[in-house]
Structures are given as structure tokens and as C-alpha cells.
């Protein structure tokens, strides 16, 4: 596997105009500028299997043969294959010290905890997770996993952010965050083993109120949240969580675009914000009305 740093900065190419040209071309479904710069990176990733690097490059060059309705599937598989070749491709939990913004985020804990109090005193008004994202009925079907969202798969919920200005400030410290919510497990809640859909994002948890006897397992590795402390993990590995205590467990739950080297970072950003966001998986399953319905009850003057 290629010896990339634990996390690569999502930095642009030294020539900003090249980066912007690739971005604008992708927006027009033109992959030729990307393909000028991608082969050397793939050759580095597949240093022991150059034939596979060539095969991957050809698959992307022939993307026009794939119906656009299936691009979500194609790029999910493509990016998962490529990312899996990197040094961190099989990493379950990441060292938070490798993410410079984590320390600053944790310094905001007290302010966010105070704002969370507005939600924790009205838990019964919050939607269950599956009410927000319909496909999650397969994962959870009770009222013991509650959420209050600020952004979902790139769909910003500006009214909710405006209600929690300190939390909004914290979220904007996280580069390229695409999903953010207060995530609450009620006493006795067990989230069954499952896997996330796309390896091009990582998941961040900031512990808000953490009782004893609760935790999370990713790829067979267990961790326990702490108040004001962070976890970062790859949710495409099988993972599950539990709250066996008699108190609620709450975290700030955030997905952010996985840092990758140029030009994979540009492709990944486009896949997350364009292909994934416009897919049926998102468009047919996200129900923002469930959050609008509780706003007046929570924050009526």
C-alpha cells in the first residue's frame, strides 16, 4: 500500500487555475482534465499492480458508457476501490491528532453543550432517525434514536443552524462537513451492525453527554465516547453502538469529506456534492419536513 500520510490535506494543486479547471469540467461531466493528472496517483497507489491502475483509469475514461442514473453506484465502487489502496484505507478509527481542527472544535464544547440543553429538555419533540431518512427503517424502527439536523448529505438546514449559533460556528471549523446533527440514544438503545455507503467521507463524533455503559464498535474495535472529546472513524466498516445505561447519550454527529491527495480530492468532492447528493438514495429518502414541524414547538417565544 502507498505510504500516504495518515490524512492528506484537501489542498488544491499548486496551480489554483488547474484545480478550478478540473472542478468546472467535472461540473460539465468532462473528465479529460482530471485524467491528465490522475494516472500518476493511481500508479503510486497500485505500485505493485500497474495493470489494475491502467484498468481503473480506463474505466473512468469510459464513464460515458455508464448511464447517469448509475453514476452513484459506479463512483461508490470506484472511490472505495481506490481509497482502499491507501495506507489508511483499512483504518477503522483515526488518530484525532492528525486533524488540526479537532483541538479547536473541542474548545467549543461548553458552548455547544449549553445550546444542546434546548434540545435535551424537549427530547419527545424530536424525530426518530428513520423519520429523517426513510431508508433507515431497516436499521432502526423505534423512538430511541433521536436527531436534530443541521445539514444532511450537503442539504443545508439554515433555519436550524440559525437557532444554534455556537454549534454553527463549531461545525464550520470542520473542513467540508456534509452532514451534521445532534444524535441522541435513549436508555437501552442498541444500533444494530451496519455499514455506511461511501468511503469518501469520514465520521466525526464529539461527546456531549456520555453516561457509563455505552460505546461504539467499528471493524471489531471498541471505543467509548467522553464528554468534550472526539472520535473519527470510517463508517463503511461494519459498526454498531449501544447505550445500556439509564440515561441518554448524545453526540454531535458529523460527516466530512475524506482528505485525499490531488486530484483525487477534487474528484471525491465532486462525487459527494454532486453525484451522491443528486442520487435517488438522497433525494427520495431525506425528509426535511420532520425538522420544520418541531421548530415552533421547541423555540416558540
For residue 140, the tally of other CB atoms under 10 A from its CB is 18
112: left (phi over 0), alpha (psi -120 to 50) or beta: alpha
Helix axes 32-45, 16-27, angle to 10 degrees: 110
Residue-averaged pLDDT of the chain? 87
Cell (9 digits) for 277: 447528493
* pLDDT tens by residue, 75-105: 989 999 999 999 999 999 999 999 999 999 9
pLDDT for position 248: 96
Measure the CA–CA gap between 173 and 108, rounded to whole angstroms: 10
User: CA neighbours within 13 Å on the CB side: how many for 157?
Assistant: 24
Residue 96, SS3 per DSSP: helix
Choice between 31 and 155, residue whose per-residue pLDDT is larger: 31
Q: What tens digit of pLDDT does each residue of 110-137 get?
A: 999 999 998 888 888 887 776 666 555 5
CA–CA separation, 81 and 92 (whole Å): 16
Average the pLDDT over 217-240 and give the result: 98
Closest CA to 31 of 22, 41, 43: 22
Q: Using CA atoms, how far apart are residues 17 and 231, in angstroms rounded to an integer?
A: 35
Place of cell 481506490: 82
Supply the DSSP string of 98-130, one letter for each residue.
GSTHHHHHHTTHHHHHHHHHHHHTTGGGSPBHH
Domains of the chain: 96-258+287-299 (2.60.120.330)
pLDDT of 5 over the 50 cut: no
Q: Among 127-141, 189-203, 260-274, whose mean pLDDT is lowest?
A: 127-141
Rounded CA-CA distance 57/45 in Å is 12
* pLDDT at residue 286 greater than cutoff 50: no
Distance from C-alpha of 35 to C-alpha of 122, rounded to nearest angstrom? 51
Kindly list the distances between the CA atom of residue 161 and the CA atoms of 11, 103, 180, in Å, as whole numbers in the listed order. 27, 22, 10
Cβ-based neighbour number of residue 241 at 10 Å: 22
- Specify the pTM: 0.89
Amino acid at each position: 500500500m502507498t505510504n500516504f500520510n495518515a490524512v492528506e490535506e484537501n489542498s488544491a494543486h499548486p496551480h489554483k487555475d488547474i484545480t478550478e479547471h478540473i472542478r468546472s469540467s467535472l461540473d460539465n461531466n468532462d473528465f479529460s482534465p482530471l485524467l491528465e493528472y490522475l494516472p500518476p496517483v493511481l500508479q503510486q497507489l497500485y505500485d505493485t499492480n500497474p495493470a489494475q491502475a491502467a484498468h481503473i483509469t480506463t474505466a473512468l475514461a469510459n464513464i460515458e458508457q455508464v448511464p447517469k442514473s448509475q453514476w452513484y453506484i459506479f463512483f461508490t465502487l470506484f472511490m472505495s476501490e481506490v481509497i482502499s489502496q491507501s495506507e489508511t484505507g483499512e483504518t477503522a478509527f483515526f488518530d484525532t491528532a492528525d486533524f488540526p481542527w479537532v483541538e479547536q472544535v473541542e474548545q467549543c464544547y461548553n458552548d455547544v453543550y449549553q445550546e444542546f440543553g434546548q434540545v435535551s429538555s424537549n427530547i419527545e419533540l424530536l424525530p426518530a432517525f428513520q423519520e429523517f431518512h426513510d431508508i433507515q427503517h431497516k436499521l432502526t424502527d423505534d423512538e430511541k434514536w433521536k436527531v436534530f439536523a443541521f445539514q444532511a448529505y450537503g442539504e443545508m438546514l439554515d433555519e436550524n443552524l440559525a437557532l444554534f449559533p455556537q454549534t454553527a460556528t463549531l461545525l464550520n471549523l470542520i473542513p467540508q462537513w456534509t452532514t451534521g446533527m445532534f444524535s441522541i440514544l435513549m436508555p437501552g438503545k442498541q444500533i444494530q451492525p451496519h455499514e455506511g455507503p461511501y468511503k469518501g467521507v469520514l465520521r466525526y463524533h464529539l461527546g456531549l453527554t456520555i453516561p457509563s455503559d455505552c460505546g461504539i464498535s467499528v471493524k471489531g474495535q471498541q471505543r467509548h465516547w467522553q464528554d468534550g472529546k472526539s472520535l473519527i472513524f470510517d463508517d463503511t466498516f461494519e459498526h454498531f453502538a449501544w447505550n445500556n445505561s439509564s440515561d441518554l447519550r448524545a453526540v454531535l454527529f458529523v460527516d466530512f469529506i475524506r482528505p485525499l491527495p490531488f486530484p483525487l480530492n477534487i474528484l471525491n468532492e465532486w462525487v459527494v456534492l454532486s453525484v451522491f447528493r443528486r442520487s435517488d438514495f438522497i433525494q427520495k429518502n431525506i425528509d426535511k419536513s420532520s425538522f420544520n414541524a418541531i421548530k415552533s414547538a421547541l423555540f416558540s417565544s
